[in-house]
Each structure stands twice: as C-alpha cells, then as structure tokens.
Amino acid sequence: MTRAPFQVLVLPYRRSRDGEIAYAIFRRTDAEYWQGIAGGGEDNESPLEAARREAFEEAGINESSRFMKLDSVATVPVAGVCGFKWGPDTLVIPEYCYGVEVECEELTICCEHTSFKWADFETASRELHWDSNRNALWELNHRLTSR
C-alpha cells in the first residue's frame, strides 16, 4: 500500500442514558501520551475512508458508525510522520478530523495503544498531548452540546 499525504484524527464519543457525553482517549505505546485515534491515508482513500479504517483497526469501531466531519484541520510535519516520502518540497501534511458516535463502552485497542479510557470533556482536553487533538475535541464538544 502507498501512504497518502494526509493524516486523520478520530475522536470517539458516547452518550450515557442521562445525556452525558464521554470521549475515548488512547495512550500510545511508543510515547506514553494520550491522543485520539490517528493514522494516515492509504492509496486512493478519501479522508473519511481512512478515518473509518483507522477507527476499526485501532479501536474496533464499526465502519458503518456515524462519523461527523469536523471543520478542524491541522498540519503535521512530515518528519514526524514518515519522513520526506513525498519529496523535499512536502514539509507538512493536513490532518483531517472526525468525531464518531459509538454505542458500546468497550473498545478493542490495537498494539499502538496500551490502554484507553472514557473521560468528560474537561478531563480529556487536559490530558490530550497534541494541540490539534484539543482543538478538534473542543469543536466536537461544542457541536454536540450546543444543539
């Protein structure tokens, strides 16, 4: 498979019976910090297709789940992703962000993560390592709570 020049970020959430929203955050195996589900596009995938695939691969989230495209878009330096794979002029790639509603409390994590946990907005925001993750979480939370 060929790595596409973009990243995706997926933020799973669920609603409790009383309407409270919890967000799943994941602890990375290789770096010991918390983040959303993140990964790169492959071949000719669209960002949404990549988000669906990554959510399934990293957390067992059904690809037919309801995904919400967020307006949040960040850029990621290629040096931290996979090097200068696309030539010396491609220095950053976009990171497209999505929320995904899940029904079950249990997620199946892959080897990229040591654990996951459900957290309220304030806790998740405080614990997320990347600014782009916090920004996307803020947008998702605002969209879900301001309706």
Residue 143: pLDDT band with limits 50, 70, 90: very high
φ, ψ for residue 136, nearest 5 deg: -65, -40
pLDDT of residue 44: 94
pLDDT of residue 62: 92
The CB-based long-range contact list for 75-83 (8 Å cut-off, 24+ gap) reads 76/7, 76/132, 81/7, 81/40, 82/3, 82/40
Could you give the CA distance from residue 4 to residue 131 in angstroms, rounded to a whole number?
A: 23
Query: Averaged over 91-115, what is the pLDDT?
Result: 88
β-pairing verdict for 21-28 and 113-119: antiparallel
| Torsion sign (Cα): 16, 21, 140, 23 | negative
Average pLDDT, the chain: 93
Decide if 47 contacts 96 (C-beta within 8 A): yes
Angle at 41 between CA 134 and CA 99, to 5 degrees: 35
Tally of structural domains, the chain: 1
pLDDT of residue 126: 97
86: containing domain? 3-145
Q: What is the CATH number of the domain that holds 106?
A: 3.90.79.10
Query: Averaged over 20-26, what is the pLDDT?
Result: 95
Tokens representing 26 are: 């994941």
- List, in sequence order, the alpha helices (H) in the chain: 47-59, 121-127, 131-145
